[in-house]
Structure 1
């Protein structure tokens, strides 16, 4: 019997999982060693006042890590959402931290400091307990992304396991480049929300194959809604982010190709459930993947 180890299994065992890292660890892993400085961190006690009023446990950083440092020697801010806290949801404080950091990065560029941004999406969208405040903060994030991407690429990364949903999926769509793992999911509404509102015949949230087949990372890249599908490996994700930064600002952002995507949606037959293959054919993505 051969004792040779399958090289693929050996690589799998040795990989450094990005998904298994927390938000702070993810940010640190992306930035150059020794360059990370956390802003508005847990010792500043910027927790949500609204959750406390509702007798809910708060977190001192409100589930968002703002890390400033260097990435391949370039000034970079990494905004990492902690999916383990409140499902990565956006409330007033969490949203303000992300929007504020992006706004400061844009200001840096106007002052001649070419600061770039990476957003690590691990979020279900708006925090329901903060309702309109959360929605307003997400709108500010979206506006700040559009402002900054005029100067430098804004790269979004969604690894798993929460995925990227709600208003924050729109923020992800506004990014210059979007990186997903196979485990990631990207969609405006989550499977359980769709099932609740439209019925199990429309979308069965228990069918994992269906969920990943339509909203998983591999499918989103094949449909042209994301730019790179990578393995759950910290080094590979970092290398992909560096490669996309090297490409610079896209000639046209995805959000500037609305006519193309609206035309695709008009081709969808809503009378029956589309298959992943049909979705890929319908979207017929513009060529030039990452």
Structure 2
């Protein structure tokens, strides 16, 4: 196996979708359209929240933050992929690869953290409504957002440090359309135990704990809602959570389900499809989920567009 000394690593080679010129043109149009829908949809959601005083609440503050993160998360990988398809180039510099990986982990982790914070917000609003104004105050919202950013930065820098500590790489070909952290770690010929330990620690702290927090929040929410005597009250309480629950299912379903399925019988194509699901599809669908299933957002968007 050829080893590449770190001092001589200047670039990596990404995996392309197809060498067929016609198919590449179709993929270019498809991914460009999806990216534009993602950016415009999330910008409209941010505009709706900021322009309507009735939406200046903690729930919509976190929603607009999630939309901003979705734009950044998608912009980390999709524009580079679109340019590569158009120019038929699959090269990314070493510095550019580390930068893309850091931003990808940062915004992906922030989306995970914000979904957890939004579940906590719904938990307090439904289970402890009398304490909601104090617990989720503007100061509390700012602290929760800062904590999400801080944990995401820690996660991003841990990934960066692990790759920087690699003294050599087995080869320069990355089996994905962007610098996937797991792919970079698998290419490293450094001590695999360190990479495995760091990966599992990060996965437990920033993957398992947030999902358990969301599960616990909704367990308490369902328990409280079922105690409401009127069916109208139960429907109203559940309706405030339906959009968020749909976004959580979409994010974790594409992240866990597709990747776990690809790990059973891994192939580079399955890995790329898994990455496309949560880097392109999920950020694009989130604005539709919140606008179609939320009357306040729908009403404000209609007023803006008309």
TM-score in terms of structure 2 length: 0.31
TM-score in terms of structure 1 length: 0.32
Higher strand fraction (1 or 2): 1
Structure whose CA Rg is larger: 2
